[in-house]
Amino acid sequence: MRRLVKTLFSWVCRRIDWLVSKGGLTCPQSCVALIRLDAIGDFILWIDSAKEYRRLYPSQKITLIANAAWADLAKQLPYWDEVWPVDIRHLGLGQPLRRWQLLRQISKGGFDTAIQPTFSRALMQGDSVIRATQARQRIGSVGDLAIDSATERITGNRWYTQLLPASTSPLMELQRNAEFISHLAGAPYQASLPQLPGLTTLPTPLKPKVPYFIVFPGGSWSGR
């Protein structure tokens, strides 16, 4: 029974995606959409290469379509002109109306170029969003099958106009991001540790007297 319900919801969501993709663009502009819907740790590691998009698209408006969990942090960074928060729960199989509203809003963004640099793509999330943009250029990574099945990957691949190559060897996320930028820019890019700006001023008693870092295993765990 559970499998039948999941199959039904999946069919409904795919019909919603198809209907959205058939709608015409409104006010097409020379705009770039960057799509990152993964967790905050992946976002932090992406910041090192994220700054390169401003260099690659210096005269275009850049919109970051972001996981709402870290969108407020992204708004503090100068690498894009605006941030559109996405509650990824609204892309779930159980919320077809919210999915329709979200993808319909994205389809009206007037994007000329849409880029999803995520290596481990998800058909019902990032791939569906890039399809909804209806951008003239839709660029992604060939990726892997860590999330999607081979059949889902074949389906998702059709929604891109260009898939950039990626090494089949295991790579740290920093290196994977640098690899994507290198292929996109057509020039080697060397990964380095991301630098976050100071986002708040701590009261004097709370200011550390020496440099420090925080390790937070299980950051996505609901019990945090």
In a domain, 112, yes or no: yes
156: domain CATH number is 3.40.50.2000
What was the pLDDT predicted at 22?
A: 73
**pLDDT (average), residues 46-57:** 94
In a domain, 141, yes or no: yes
In a domain, 198, yes or no: no
In a domain, 20, yes or no: no
Could you tell me how many residues make up the chain? 224
Domain coverage including residue 116: 29-186
What was the pLDDT predicted at 214?
A: 77
Average pLDDT of the chain? 88
Domain total in the chain: 1
pTM: 0.86
Question: Would you report the helix, strand and coil content of the chain in percent, each value rounded to 5?
Answer: 40, 15, 45
Q: Which pLDDT band holds residue 219 (cuts at 50, 70, 90)? A: low
Q: Distances in Å between the alpha carbon of 187 and those of 52, 138, 193, 205?
A: 12, 20, 19, 47
In a domain, 131, yes or no: yes
| Strand ranges for 151-203 from DSSP E | 162-164
In a domain, 224, yes or no: no
What was the pLDDT predicted at 24?
A: 55
Give pLDDT tens digits for 126-175: 999 999 999 999 999 999 999 999 999 999 999 999 999 999 999 999 99
